[in-house]
Structure 1
Amino acid sequence: MSQRRTSADAGPATIRDVAERAGVSVASVSRVLSGNYPVSDDLRRRVMKVVRELDYVTNAHARSLAGGGTPTVAILINHITGAAFAHVAKGVEGAASLRGWLTLVGTTGDDPERELALVNLMRRQGVTAVVLLGGAYDFEEYQLRMARFARSLDSAGSHLVLVGRPALKGDAPATTVDYDNEGGAYAMASHLLSAGHRHVLVLPGPAELTTAQGRLNGAHRAFEAYGVPFRQDMVHHGPYDFEHGLRAVEHSLEQGPPFTAILAGTDVVAAGAMQALRSAGLRVPEDISVVGYDDIPLASQLTPKLTTVHVPYEEMGRVALRAVADRREGGAGRRGGDGDQFVLGTHVVVRQSVRPPERQG
């Protein structure tokens, strides 16, 4: 019986390693992986079990990874229509195009299982790097599996880049390009508090996303700094979409405690909140102040123009691609290690949607 490969073995697993472990011929493994030949279900199960155990990468793009083809970067995003991270994708694609690289875009649909599956698929396709956009899911199993994929990508000559989310725990070889998420929320909540607001409806985003957790923590810290009680019953979690902003505000107007301002987790959520206020006959900012987060073009197109937190999304995309290029082309073109970490700043953009509460109504 063949001995089990260990992490100390040199280089990634080969098709011969898979054949030896499975107890079949190299030709049989090739037939299973190609999908072009009829094979028994038992053979397919045996081979694929070993493929998973060895983290074997179907090396269709080996020549590209070795420098003989066009580098390809895979961008994974929650929704292709998501305005904020579409700007990150634009930054990645623009910087890649300048280098003559190709980009692929895949969508995860806010599904952590699909996200993990796509990372694994891109690993098997041999892309130069996987750029993963948006907040991470705060589940231990998810974090462990993502760290495992980062190491597997690295062993296959690829690299994982996390944009807009915290670094992976442990020694996972992934580059992180983040922004001061919590600091931006702290600054925005402080802006409302300094204007005199004490009853603020907070719509930070999905409870399980690190992005929403950071924005909620930042707001909480601001309330503590101002000596104002932070009311959990005025926090409503939900998706980063227009519908959530609309429904959360409708519900709060009907059943919740009174509020003079709304701190929305994104500009799109803020737009939904403003629509709910208008439908209820309330004016922004005369009756209720509203602020957002992201500073996408929509923020300056709303009436009134939205006060929000500016996040340099497009620049984050360019930084992410440069980090990949540096690893591939320069002295950073190495494997292993924790990977680089970059943090970009945020700031409040003051427009027309905030007014002190004594001037409201």
Structure 2
Amino acid sequence: MRSKKHPLDSGGMSSTSPLVLITGATGFVGSHVVHQAISAGYPVRLVTRPGKDGALCSLYDASKNVDVVVIEDIASSDFTEALRGVGAVIHVASPNAGRSSPEGMISGAVNGTLNIVKQATAAGVKRIVVTSSLTALADITSDFYARRTHADTDWNEVTKESVLDGTHENDALCVYSASKAIAERELWKFADAHPEVDITTILPCMVYGPIAPGIKLTKEGLANYSTAAWFYQALLPPAGQQAKLKPVQDTVPMTVDVRDVARAHVLALSAAESSSVRRKRLLVAGETFLFKDAVEHLAKVRPELRDRLPDTSEAKPLLEQVNIMDTSRTKEVLGITEFIDWRKTVEDSVQSFLDIEKSWGETN
């Protein structure tokens, strides 16, 4: 580990705000978590891989309450120095779908989670928040039009052995689904053995929304930017291309705004302890919509984009028997009263994509 910024200066910060270590700070969800943690008054220490530290240092250069540290490998590196003075951890980082072999995906997710959680516990950290996923509740290939309610007691029962049987080498989403489920199961085994640590997992469904403030992305960067990339490519195909939406949307129809996901992570830092509200496995989901709905809404509110939007004539509407996620415990434990309307998610996302495209022209 090496630090790439000045030591934290706590001047102006509340003495009751713990220093929060955040992993995955350059990612879609992680960047929003950082933004909201800072806005909530937390000093933060951001963990990043070699090569990504420069962008983070530039983004937060004027902040006295942000520190950036480089960790070679979250799954195996020593966090001793990175955890010095830390009072809470938000672990967002996880291997992206299709970026490594099935075995590498699973071991990266499991070992990445356990390595930082074990070291944080040994360092005396008492509050840990970990990003999980709908895929820890149900396999990504499940029928999401079965009028089923997903609850915090549900589990994707996939095993490591079944994923590594040689038949899933080209099924990145299936492997990603398994990696999240297996990593979370291992995390709760650790939590059960260490009741002195308050652990929360946040389980969002399909995460869409605008890019976090200040984040700069190249054309290639946006094309590979998690679920935001899917949204961008579906809603704003390159000008001049006669794109059509597929008859059936091939992603999960249950959606949530990235800002709500980040808000849940930050609120979890000050939520009631598990000893009083039981295991905090918190589902985060907004209103369901499809790309078809998003495009047709944009055609109404942004008519100047109509020539850019894809053809929706063959896309089927949302079926009534779509599954839902039970967010009642999340609202109870975190005090969230409502989630961002999907129309605002669509409008804000598209504006942020257009702003990023504009920046490409300005740098040419």
TM-score (norm 2): 0.39
Structure 1 or 2: larger helix share? 1
Larger radius of gyration: 1
